[in-house]
Structure 1
Amino acid sequence: MLLSELLDMPVTDVNGDRVGTVVDVRFRRGARRRDHEGDLELIALIVSPHSRLSMYGYERGRVNRPAVVARLIGWAHRGARLIPWECVRVVESDGVVLGVAVPEIPLDVRRGIPGTTGSALRESQSG
């Protein structure tokens, strides 16, 4: 599967309800082997319910200039979330189908995960 095949695909949940559109993905690099970089492994989809446009890296939380652009992109992608690849049941020609209920994982976990307190998140990061 190619990245270009996933981008702009509609995503539906286990009940067939529309979740949004794949606007980006997240990879993890495997261990380096001698002279070769580690393989890339697809670990998550970034799904936006309101826009099909790219986020241009603004979802990472570290890019904040120019502020006007950051706010416009943030507004266009409000409600966007990470969907772990393990949640995907099947990728069909007409879209991605999840095998579980849609997880509530924000793009920038430093902003907090719904259902947790900020102190619990800080404790888990420090421990």
Structure 2
Amino acid sequence: MLLSDLLGCRVLDPDGTSLGTVVDVRFRRGPARRTREADLQLVALIVSPRSRMSYYGYERGRVDAPAVINAIMARLHRGARVIPWECVAEIRDGELELGVTAPRIPLDPRVPIGEG
């Protein structure tokens, strides 16, 4: 699977309700190998209910965006959330169907899970 296969896909919860569009993903580096770098493992999708546009890295807490760009990104992606990869049951024709109801994990780490 390629990253381009996921970006732009519509995400559906188990009852068929659209949660939004995949705008970014999160990876974790796996265990290191002696002879080569560790593999990257897909751990989560970033899903935005209002926009198909990427964040271009501005959602990460350590990036200081100009105030105007920060305001635009916040408005375009309000309600965006992290969906763990383990929740995905099926991938087909531009859609990802979740097998379970995903927890509500906000992008902002200061917001408690469930309130995002």
TM-score greater than 0.5 by the shorter chain: yes
Separation in 1, partners of 2:93, 2:114: 32
1:60 is paired with a residue whose SS is coil
**Bigger radius of gyration among the two:** 1
Match of 1:58 in 2: 58
TM-score normalized by the length of structure 2: 0.93
Structure with greater proportional helix content: 1
Letter in structure 2 aligned against 1:21: T
Match of 1:124 in 2: none
Separation in 1, partners of 2:48, 2:4: 16
* Per-residue deviation, 1:71: 1.3
Structure with greater proportional strand content: 2
**Identity over aligned pairs, percent:** 58
Say whether residues 1:112 and 2:108 are aligned partners.
no
The CA RMSD over aligned residues, in Å, is 1.2
Match of 2:86 in 1: 86
Match of 1:29 in 2: 29
Match of 2:44 in 1: 44
Provide structure 2 residue ranges, at least 5 long, that are not aligned to the other structure. none
Question: Number of residue pairs matched?
Answer: 115
Letter in structure 1 aligned against 2:54: S
Separation in 2, partners of 1:44, 1:69: 25
TM-score normalized by the length of structure 1: 0.85
